[in-house]
Amino acid sequence: MPEVSPDVSLARWTTLGLGGPAQRMIVANSVDEIVQSVRSAADRPALILAGGSNVVVGDDGFPGVVVLVRSAGWTVTADDGGTVDLVVQAGQDWDGFVAYTVAEGLAGVECLSGVPGSTGATPIQNVGAYGQDVSEVITAVTVLDRLADEVVELSAAECEFAYRGSRFKHNDRWVVLSVAMRLVRSPLSTPIRYAELARRLGVEPGDHVNLGQVREAVLALRRGKGMVLDPEDPDTRSVGSFFMNPVLSASAYQMFMAKADGNAPSTWPEADGKVKVSAAWLIENAGFRKGYARGGAAISGKHTLALTNRGGRTEDLLELAREVRDGVHARFGVTLRPEPVLINCEL
Protein backbone atom coordinates (compact mmCIF):
# COMPACT_ATOMS: atom_id res chain seq x y z
CA MET A 1 0.00 0.00 0.00
CA PRO A 2 1.17 3.57 -0.63
CA GLU A 3 2.67 5.42 2.32
CA VAL A 4 0.44 8.26 3.55
CA SER A 5 1.58 11.29 5.57
CA PRO A 6 -0.33 14.40 6.72
CA ASP A 7 0.85 18.03 6.64
CA VAL A 8 4.18 17.54 4.84
CA SER A 9 6.19 20.60 3.85
CA LEU A 10 6.63 20.62 0.08
CA ALA A 11 9.88 22.60 0.33
CA ARG A 12 11.64 19.31 1.02
CA TRP A 13 10.47 17.90 -2.31
CA THR A 14 11.34 20.75 -4.66
CA THR A 15 14.72 21.78 -6.06
CA LEU A 16 13.96 25.37 -5.05
CA GLY A 17 13.51 24.32 -1.44
CA LEU A 18 10.32 26.38 -1.31
CA GLY A 19 6.65 25.65 -0.70
CA GLY A 20 4.22 25.35 2.16
CA PRO A 21 2.52 22.19 3.46
CA ALA A 22 0.33 19.68 1.67
CA GLN A 23 -2.78 18.58 3.50
CA ARG A 24 -1.88 14.99 2.68
CA MET A 25 0.95 13.24 0.84
CA ILE A 26 0.86 9.75 -0.65
CA VAL A 27 4.09 8.05 -1.75
CA ALA A 28 3.39 5.80 -4.76
CA ASN A 29 6.07 3.31 -5.83
CA SER A 30 4.43 1.64 -8.82
CA VAL A 31 1.96 2.29 -11.62
CA ASP A 32 -0.80 0.55 -9.68
CA GLU A 33 -0.07 2.64 -6.59
CA ILE A 34 -0.05 5.86 -8.61
CA VAL A 35 -3.43 5.03 -10.15
CA GLN A 36 -4.84 3.95 -6.79
CA SER A 37 -3.57 7.10 -5.08
CA VAL A 38 -4.98 9.46 -7.70
CA ARG A 39 -8.33 7.71 -7.65
CA SER A 40 -8.45 8.00 -3.86
CA ALA A 41 -8.15 11.77 -4.27
CA ALA A 42 -10.96 12.06 -6.81
CA ASP A 43 -13.05 14.27 -4.50
CA ARG A 44 -10.31 16.82 -3.75
CA PRO A 45 -7.48 18.69 -5.50
CA ALA A 46 -4.49 16.48 -6.36
CA LEU A 47 -0.94 17.41 -7.29
CA ILE A 48 1.37 14.89 -8.95
CA LEU A 49 4.96 15.51 -7.86
CA ALA A 50 8.12 13.60 -8.68
CA GLY A 51 11.50 15.33 -8.97
CA GLY A 52 10.11 18.74 -8.08
CA SER A 53 12.52 20.42 -10.48
CA ASN A 54 9.99 22.34 -12.57
CA VAL A 55 7.43 23.56 -10.05
CA VAL A 56 7.08 26.65 -7.89
CA VAL A 57 4.85 25.94 -4.89
CA GLY A 58 3.22 28.84 -3.05
CA ASP A 59 3.95 29.66 0.58
CA ASP A 60 0.49 28.40 1.55
CA GLY A 61 1.34 24.99 0.14
CA PHE A 62 -1.22 22.84 -1.61
CA PRO A 63 -4.80 22.46 -0.31
CA GLY A 64 -5.23 18.82 -1.24
CA VAL A 65 -3.45 15.54 -1.86
CA VAL A 66 0.10 15.36 -3.21
CA VAL A 67 0.98 12.08 -4.91
CA LEU A 68 4.74 11.66 -4.73
CA VAL A 69 5.67 9.45 -7.70
CA ARG A 70 8.50 7.07 -6.90
CA SER A 71 8.14 4.37 -9.58
CA ALA A 72 11.50 3.62 -11.19
CA GLY A 73 13.28 1.56 -13.82
CA TRP A 74 12.89 0.82 -17.50
CA THR A 75 12.28 -2.12 -19.82
CA VAL A 76 13.65 -2.84 -23.30
CA THR A 77 10.63 -3.82 -25.38
CA ALA A 78 12.27 -4.22 -28.81
CA ASP A 79 15.78 -4.26 -30.28
CA ASP A 80 16.36 -4.81 -34.01
CA GLY A 81 20.06 -4.00 -33.84
CA GLY A 82 19.58 -0.51 -35.22
CA THR A 83 16.98 0.95 -32.90
CA VAL A 84 15.96 0.09 -29.35
CA ASP A 85 12.51 0.66 -27.87
CA LEU A 86 12.24 1.23 -24.13
CA VAL A 87 9.49 1.98 -21.63
CA VAL A 88 10.63 4.13 -18.71
CA GLN A 89 8.68 4.51 -15.47
CA ALA A 90 7.45 8.00 -14.61
CA GLY A 91 9.34 8.26 -11.33
CA GLN A 92 12.69 7.21 -12.79
CA ASP A 93 15.43 9.78 -12.22
CA TRP A 94 15.98 11.27 -15.68
CA ASP A 95 19.74 11.72 -15.59
CA GLY A 96 20.21 8.19 -14.27
CA PHE A 97 18.39 6.93 -17.34
CA VAL A 98 20.44 9.15 -19.67
CA ALA A 99 23.65 7.82 -18.11
CA TYR A 100 22.44 4.29 -18.89
CA THR A 101 21.71 5.13 -22.54
CA VAL A 102 25.16 6.63 -23.02
CA ALA A 103 26.87 3.64 -21.38
CA GLU A 104 24.85 1.25 -23.58
CA GLY A 105 25.59 3.13 -26.82
CA LEU A 106 22.05 4.40 -27.38
CA ALA A 107 21.85 7.82 -29.03
CA GLY A 108 19.02 10.32 -28.81
CA VAL A 109 19.03 11.89 -25.34
CA GLU A 110 22.74 12.46 -24.66
CA CYS A 111 22.38 16.25 -24.92
CA LEU A 112 19.76 16.09 -22.16
CA SER A 113 22.36 14.95 -19.62
CA GLY A 114 22.17 16.64 -16.25
CA VAL A 115 18.54 17.74 -16.59
CA PRO A 116 17.09 17.30 -13.09
CA GLY A 117 13.78 15.66 -12.29
CA SER A 118 11.89 12.56 -13.31
CA THR A 119 11.24 10.90 -16.66
CA GLY A 120 7.50 11.40 -16.28
CA ALA A 121 7.98 15.16 -16.33
CA THR A 122 9.87 15.16 -19.63
CA PRO A 123 6.86 14.84 -21.98
CA ILE A 124 4.85 17.35 -19.96
CA GLN A 125 7.48 20.02 -20.48
CA ASN A 126 8.85 18.60 -23.73
CA VAL A 127 12.21 18.91 -22.05
CA GLY A 128 14.95 20.20 -24.31
CA ALA A 129 18.56 21.33 -24.08
CA TYR A 130 21.58 21.82 -26.31
CA GLY A 131 19.69 21.09 -29.51
CA GLN A 132 17.67 18.03 -28.46
CA ASP A 133 14.02 17.78 -27.39
CA VAL A 134 12.66 14.66 -25.73
CA SER A 135 9.72 14.69 -28.17
CA GLU A 136 12.17 13.58 -30.89
CA VAL A 137 12.50 10.14 -29.27
CA ILE A 138 9.14 9.65 -27.56
CA THR A 139 6.88 7.19 -29.35
CA ALA A 140 4.05 7.03 -26.80
CA VAL A 141 3.08 8.07 -23.28
CA THR A 142 0.91 5.96 -21.00
CA VAL A 143 -1.34 8.10 -18.80
CA LEU A 144 -4.22 7.90 -16.39
CA ASP A 145 -7.06 9.89 -17.92
CA ARG A 146 -8.71 11.28 -14.79
CA LEU A 147 -11.77 12.45 -16.71
CA ALA A 148 -12.55 9.01 -18.16
CA ASP A 149 -10.93 7.20 -15.20
CA GLU A 150 -8.98 4.86 -17.41
CA VAL A 151 -5.36 4.14 -18.32
CA VAL A 152 -4.65 4.92 -21.98
CA GLU A 153 -1.66 5.10 -24.30
CA LEU A 154 -1.25 8.28 -26.32
CA SER A 155 0.89 8.38 -29.44
CA ALA A 156 3.55 11.06 -29.87
CA ALA A 157 1.20 12.95 -32.20
CA GLU A 158 -1.58 12.82 -29.62
CA CYS A 159 0.76 14.38 -27.03
CA GLU A 160 0.65 17.63 -29.05
CA PHE A 161 4.25 18.53 -28.33
CA ALA A 162 5.28 22.17 -28.67
CA TYR A 163 8.18 24.32 -27.56
CA ARG A 164 8.51 23.52 -23.83
CA GLY A 165 4.96 22.27 -23.75
CA SER A 166 2.45 19.54 -24.57
CA ARG A 167 -1.21 18.72 -24.03
CA PHE A 168 -0.26 17.64 -20.49
CA LYS A 169 1.10 21.00 -19.31
CA HIS A 170 -1.27 23.13 -17.23
CA ASN A 171 -3.83 20.33 -17.48
CA ASP A 172 -4.47 18.05 -14.51
CA ARG A 173 -6.60 15.64 -16.54
CA TRP A 174 -3.58 13.49 -17.38
CA VAL A 175 -1.21 11.66 -15.02
CA VAL A 176 1.90 10.33 -16.75
CA LEU A 177 2.61 6.70 -15.77
CA SER A 178 5.38 5.73 -18.21
CA VAL A 179 7.13 6.99 -21.32
CA ALA A 180 8.00 4.91 -24.40
CA MET A 181 11.07 5.95 -26.41
CA ARG A 182 12.98 4.79 -29.47
CA LEU A 183 16.75 5.33 -29.45
CA VAL A 184 19.39 4.59 -32.07
CA ARG A 185 22.08 2.04 -31.35
CA SER A 186 25.27 3.95 -32.07
CA PRO A 187 28.48 4.94 -30.25
CA LEU A 188 28.07 8.40 -31.80
CA SER A 189 25.63 11.17 -30.98
CA THR A 190 22.87 12.54 -33.12
CA PRO A 191 24.10 15.56 -35.13
CA ILE A 192 25.37 18.33 -32.83
CA ARG A 193 23.02 21.27 -33.44
CA TYR A 194 23.83 23.71 -30.67
CA ALA A 195 26.68 26.09 -31.45
CA GLU A 196 27.88 26.42 -27.84
CA LEU A 197 28.11 22.65 -27.48
CA ALA A 198 29.88 22.31 -30.83
CA ARG A 199 32.47 24.85 -29.70
CA ARG A 200 32.96 23.01 -26.42
CA LEU A 201 33.52 19.76 -28.31
CA GLY A 202 35.74 21.39 -30.93
CA VAL A 203 33.56 20.25 -33.82
CA GLU A 204 31.28 21.79 -36.42
CA PRO A 205 27.49 21.86 -36.08
CA GLY A 206 26.12 18.73 -37.73
CA ASP A 207 29.05 16.53 -36.68
CA HIS A 208 28.61 13.29 -34.73
CA VAL A 209 30.65 12.81 -31.55
CA ASN A 210 31.27 9.97 -29.10
CA LEU A 211 28.29 9.73 -26.74
CA GLY A 212 30.44 9.85 -23.60
CA GLN A 213 32.22 12.98 -24.80
CA VAL A 214 28.90 14.69 -25.49
CA ARG A 215 27.57 13.79 -22.04
CA GLU A 216 30.68 15.11 -20.27
CA ALA A 217 30.66 18.30 -22.33
CA VAL A 218 26.99 18.94 -21.59
CA LEU A 219 27.48 18.28 -17.88
CA ALA A 220 30.44 20.67 -17.82
CA LEU A 221 28.42 23.39 -19.55
CA ARG A 222 25.50 22.89 -17.19
CA ARG A 223 27.72 22.95 -14.10
CA GLY A 224 29.23 26.21 -15.29
CA LYS A 225 25.72 27.67 -15.35
CA GLY A 226 24.62 26.20 -12.01
CA MET A 227 22.25 23.84 -13.82
CA VAL A 228 23.42 20.59 -12.19
CA LEU A 229 22.03 20.08 -8.71
CA ASP A 230 24.66 20.54 -5.99
CA PRO A 231 23.62 20.97 -2.33
CA GLU A 232 26.82 22.95 -1.73
CA ASP A 233 26.09 25.45 -4.52
CA PRO A 234 23.25 27.94 -3.81
CA ASP A 235 23.12 28.80 -7.52
CA THR A 236 21.57 25.37 -8.16
CA ARG A 237 18.64 25.98 -5.79
CA SER A 238 16.39 26.82 -8.71
CA VAL A 239 14.04 25.36 -11.33
CA GLY A 240 16.68 25.80 -14.02
CA SER A 241 15.58 28.35 -16.61
CA PHE A 242 12.73 30.33 -15.07
CA PHE A 243 11.68 32.05 -18.31
CA MET A 244 11.18 30.58 -21.77
CA ASN A 245 12.86 32.07 -24.81
CA PRO A 246 10.06 34.16 -26.38
CA VAL A 247 8.97 33.31 -29.93
CA LEU A 248 8.17 36.48 -31.89
CA SER A 249 6.30 36.96 -35.14
CA ALA A 250 8.25 38.61 -37.95
CA SER A 251 6.57 41.97 -37.28
CA ALA A 252 7.06 41.71 -33.52
CA TYR A 253 10.71 40.85 -34.10
CA GLN A 254 11.16 43.97 -36.23
CA MET A 255 9.60 46.12 -33.51
CA PHE A 256 11.83 44.48 -30.92
CA MET A 257 14.96 45.13 -32.99
CA ALA A 258 14.01 48.80 -33.25
CA LYS A 259 13.86 48.97 -29.45
CA ALA A 260 17.12 47.02 -29.21
CA ASP A 261 18.94 49.77 -31.15
CA GLY A 262 20.28 47.24 -33.63
CA ASN A 263 21.99 45.04 -31.05
CA ALA A 264 21.42 41.45 -32.16
CA PRO A 265 20.76 38.85 -29.46
CA SER A 266 21.03 35.12 -30.05
CA THR A 267 18.07 34.04 -32.20
CA TRP A 268 16.74 30.83 -33.70
CA PRO A 269 14.45 30.73 -36.76
CA GLU A 270 11.05 29.12 -36.26
CA ALA A 271 8.20 28.14 -38.56
CA ASP A 272 6.12 30.75 -40.40
CA GLY A 273 8.85 33.38 -40.22
CA LYS A 274 8.82 33.51 -36.44
CA VAL A 275 12.01 34.07 -34.47
CA LYS A 276 12.96 32.69 -31.06
CA VAL A 277 14.91 35.24 -29.03
CA SER A 278 17.31 34.65 -26.14
CA ALA A 279 15.52 35.39 -22.86
CA ALA A 280 18.89 35.60 -21.10
CA TRP A 281 19.97 38.41 -23.46
CA LEU A 282 16.71 40.26 -22.87
CA ILE A 283 17.11 40.06 -19.10
CA GLU A 284 20.73 41.15 -19.10
CA ASN A 285 20.15 44.01 -21.52
CA ALA A 286 17.16 45.21 -19.51
CA GLY A 287 19.63 45.87 -16.69
CA PHE A 288 19.39 42.70 -14.60
CA ARG A 289 22.80 41.20 -13.94
CA LYS A 290 23.90 37.86 -12.55
CA GLY A 291 23.64 37.90 -8.77
CA TYR A 292 20.97 40.63 -8.68
CA ALA A 293 18.97 40.04 -5.48
CA ARG A 294 15.59 40.98 -4.13
CA GLY A 295 14.67 39.88 -0.62
CA GLY A 296 15.39 36.19 -0.20
CA ALA A 297 15.75 35.49 -3.94
CA ALA A 298 18.44 36.27 -6.50
CA ILE A 299 19.36 35.79 -10.11
CA SER A 300 21.98 33.06 -10.26
CA GLY A 301 25.56 34.22 -10.24
CA LYS A 302 26.21 31.81 -13.11
CA HIS A 303 23.20 32.09 -15.42
CA THR A 304 20.76 34.96 -15.89
CA LEU A 305 17.80 32.67 -16.61
CA ALA A 306 17.95 30.92 -13.23
CA LEU A 307 16.15 32.54 -10.30
CA THR A 308 17.40 31.09 -7.03
CA ASN A 309 16.16 30.74 -3.47
CA ARG A 310 18.59 32.40 -1.04
CA GLY A 311 16.74 31.49 2.13
CA GLY A 312 13.54 33.41 1.51
CA ARG A 313 9.95 32.55 0.67
CA THR A 314 8.18 31.70 -2.56
CA GLU A 315 6.77 35.22 -2.65
CA ASP A 316 10.32 36.62 -2.68
CA LEU A 317 11.07 34.57 -5.78
CA LEU A 318 7.83 35.65 -7.45
CA GLU A 319 8.49 39.32 -6.69
CA LEU A 320 11.89 39.00 -8.34
CA ALA A 321 10.33 37.24 -11.34
CA ARG A 322 7.73 40.01 -11.69
CA GLU A 323 10.42 42.68 -11.54
CA VAL A 324 12.44 40.95 -14.26
CA ARG A 325 9.38 40.31 -16.45
CA ASP A 326 8.13 43.88 -16.14
CA GLY A 327 11.61 45.33 -16.68
CA VAL A 328 12.08 43.37 -19.91
CA HIS A 329 8.66 44.43 -21.18
CA ALA A 330 9.31 48.07 -20.37
CA ARG A 331 12.64 48.01 -22.18
CA PHE A 332 11.86 45.83 -25.22
CA GLY A 333 8.08 45.37 -25.41
CA VAL A 334 8.52 41.60 -25.07
CA THR A 335 6.65 39.59 -22.42
CA LEU A 336 8.59 36.76 -20.79
CA ARG A 337 6.59 33.72 -19.73
CA PRO A 338 7.54 31.31 -16.94
CA GLU A 339 8.79 27.86 -17.81
CA PRO A 340 7.96 26.09 -14.51
CA VAL A 341 4.46 25.19 -13.38
CA LEU A 342 3.14 27.54 -10.67
CA ILE A 343 1.27 25.72 -7.88
CA ASN A 344 -1.09 27.79 -5.71
CA CYS A 345 0.75 30.99 -6.67
CA GLU A 346 0.95 33.33 -9.65
CA LEU A 347 3.08 36.00 -11.28
pLDDT digits over 262-313, tens only?
787 888 888 889 999 999 999 999 999 999 999 999 999 999 999 999 999 9
Does residue 144 have a pLDDT over 90?
yes
Supply the mean pLDDT for the chain. 94
pLDDT tens profile 324-344: 999 999 999 999 999 999 999
Residue 80 contacts by C-beta under 8 Å, 6 or more apart in sequence? Answer: none
Q: Tell me if residue 313 is catalytic.
A: no
pLDDT tens profile 238-262: 999 999 999 999 999 999 999 988 7
- Cα 282 from Cα 89, distance rounded (Å): 37
Q: Tell me if residue 325 is catalytic.
A: no
* Residue tagged active-site, from 33, 110, 284, 339: 339
DSSP secondary structure string for all residues of 180-248: EEEEEE-SBPSPP--HHHHHHHT--TT---BHHHHHHHHHHHHHHTT-S--TT-GGGSS-S-SBPPPEE
Structure confidence at residue 193 as a pLDDT band (50, 70, 90) = very high
Phi, psi (5° rounding) for residue 150?
A: -150, 155
Three-state DSSP state, 104? coil
Q: How far is CA 268 from CA 194, 228, 336, in A?
A: 10, 25, 16
* Residue tagged active-site, from 113, 178, 241, 300: 241
Phi, psi (5° rounding) for residue 276?
A: -90, 130
* Residue tagged active-site, from 24, 164, 200, 215: 164
Q: DSSP code of 117?
A: S
Sheet holding 3-9, edge to edge: 3-9, 21-28, 62-69, 46-49
Does residue 125 have a pLDDT over 80?
yes
Does residue 57 have a pLDDT over 60?
yes
Residue 282 contacts by C-beta under 8 Å, 6 or more apart in sequence? Answer: 246, 265, 328, 331, 332, 334, 336
- Cα 117 from Cα 50, distance rounded (Å): 7
Q: Identify the pLDDT of residue 21.
A: 94
* Residue 264 burial (CB count, 10 A): 9
Q: Tell me if residue 5 is catalytic.
A: no
Q: Identify the pLDDT of residue 271.
A: 82
Structure confidence at residue 123 as a pLDDT band (50, 70, 90) = very high
- Cα 227 from Cα 242, distance rounded (Å): 12
Does residue 126 have a pLDDT over 90?
yes
Identify which has the larger pLDDT, 229 or 112: 112
- Cα 70 from Cα 27, distance rounded (Å): 7
Q: Identify the pLDDT of residue 170.
A: 87
Q: Identify the pLDDT of residue 250.
A: 92
Single pTM value for the model:
0.89
Q: DSSP code of 114?
A: T
Q: Identify the pLDDT of residue 1.
A: 55
